[in-house]
Amino acid sequence: MLLTQMNGCTATHALDGFSRRFNKVIPELRQSFTYDRGSEMARHQELTAATGMPVFFCEPYSPWQRGSNENMNGLVRQFLPKGVDLSTVTPQKLAYIEAMLNDRPRKILDFRTPREVYTEIVQAKLAERHALAAKTVALQT
């Protein structure tokens, strides 16, 4: 789970916040992004250009189409109940919440944490990248 602070709710704020956060993820893991139909995603084509991730939208009033997102929203609400002024939440507080949720074991992950699974996937992708680079170098010599 990734959380990022935005300085507002406009399309520009969403573009800046999501781009900044997603571009810290290795390209191999930036597959796609699913969002509801909020006006803050009006610049979704620019987000795709900035991150390489296509943006998909749910049908109106169909939160089940983003089940994992809705589940994570519920977990975040344990720390930031509905009605909390998000502009008062510091980046440090968001980092704390993100760490707490990413270090919480999940049944769906065989009681491993999201951080453990993510680390394994990143290491595997980087090893693939390294092996491909070594094969390319070997072919060039």
Whole-angstrom distance, CA of residue 102 vs CA of residue 118: 9
Cα–Cα distance for residue pair 118/29, rounded to 1 Å: 10
pLDDT at 105: 97
Token pair for residue 38?
A: 């909020």
Question: Model pTM?
Answer: 0.80
CA distance 81 to 74: 9
> Which pLDDT value is given to residue 141?
60
**pLDDT tens track for 28-67:** 999 998 887 788 999 999 999 999 999 998 888 887 787 7
- Per-residue pLDDT at 139: 67
Nearest Cα neighbor of 57 from 76, 40, 75, 82 is 40
86 or 141, higher pLDDT: 86
Average pLDDT for the chain = 90
Say whether pLDDT at 138 is over 70: no
Taking only the tens place, the pLDDT of each residue in 78-111 is 999 989 888 889 999 999 999 999 999 999 999 9
